[in-house]
A and B are shown apart, each in its own frame.
Chain A
Amino acid sequence: KNQVEQSPQSLIILEGKNCTLQCNYTVSPFSNLRWYKQDTGRGPVSLTIMTFSENTKSNGRYTATLDADTKQSSLHITASQLSDSASYICVVSAGIHDMRFGAGTRLTVKP
């Protein structure tokens, strides 16, 4: 069973709207949590990295939150753009060589 679960599996929103993607994990011990954006046919691109002591991190219109107690993270996208259409992958690291990837949320932004 994957120790990093993402929801929803896919999401369709209208341009300009906000959305929130969820990531729940059971990985232990916990080192850090990362969100990546992966365009179709491309490699993932890092959006945010959060360690245990951080509970929010922003990168432009992307804001990630982390609740290490409940082992939940969310990625909030504000004022979505067509170029936000991609897969968003949550990655939880238990150590240097132990990165667990979620299956991703496929986001489609429509005009």
Chain B
Amino acid sequence: ETGVTQSPTHLIKTRGQQVTLRCSSQSGHNTVSWYQQALGQGPQFIFQYYREEENGRGNFPPRFSGLQFPNYSSELNVNALELDDSALYLCASSLLAGGPTDTQYFGPGTRLTVL
């Protein structure tokens, strides 16, 4: 176990709705990254938070937003859900802001299905 937890495990929403996914990082890890993994594909980087500030973002629209809290928990919010948002959402925590040899510890993921 990596010590990173995510909730819920599975979630079903309809198009146009909003969703909040949660992640609890390893204690002491100041950095959390969120990824979207479509079926049969590798994860795609959404954004990264370091000490409660967003410090990096992938090619995702503004309807994907996040928060990081002082207690090492974080959220991924997605507004106006689209069918293509159906995927496994992974969070990963690390000690530093993604240094060259910084190990990321992934959670088990949240499987989101948009109908």
Taking beta carbons and an 8 Å cutoff, which residues of A are in contact with B? 2, 4, 31-32, 36, 41-46, 49, 51, 89, 91, 93, 96-99, 101-104
A98 and B48 CA atoms in complex are apart in Å by: 10
Identify whether the interface residues of A are mostly helix, strand, loop, or mixed: strand
Q: A-B pairs with the 10 shortest C-beta distances?
A: A97-B56, A43-B106, A101-B42, A96-B98, A32-B100, A103-B42, A44-B106, A101-B43, A43-B107, A43-B90
Pair A43/B42 contact, Cβ less than 8 Å = no
Task: Report the bound CA distance from A32 to B102 in whole Å.
Answer: 10
- In addition to A97-B56, A97-B98, A101-B42, 4 A-B residue pairs with Cβ atoms within 8 Å of each other are A36-B106, A44-B90, A96-B98, A101-B44
Size of interface on B: residues with Cβ below 8 Å to A: 28
17 contacts between A and B (CB under 8 A): A31-B100, A32-B101, A41-B108, A44-B106, A45-B2, A89-B42, A89-B43, A93-B100, A96-B56, A96-B97, A97-B98, A98-B45, A99-B98, A101-B42, A103-B40, A104-B41, A104-B42
* Proximity string of chain B (1-42) to chain A, C-beta cutoff 8 Å, 1 when within and 0 when not: 010100000000000000000000000000000010000111
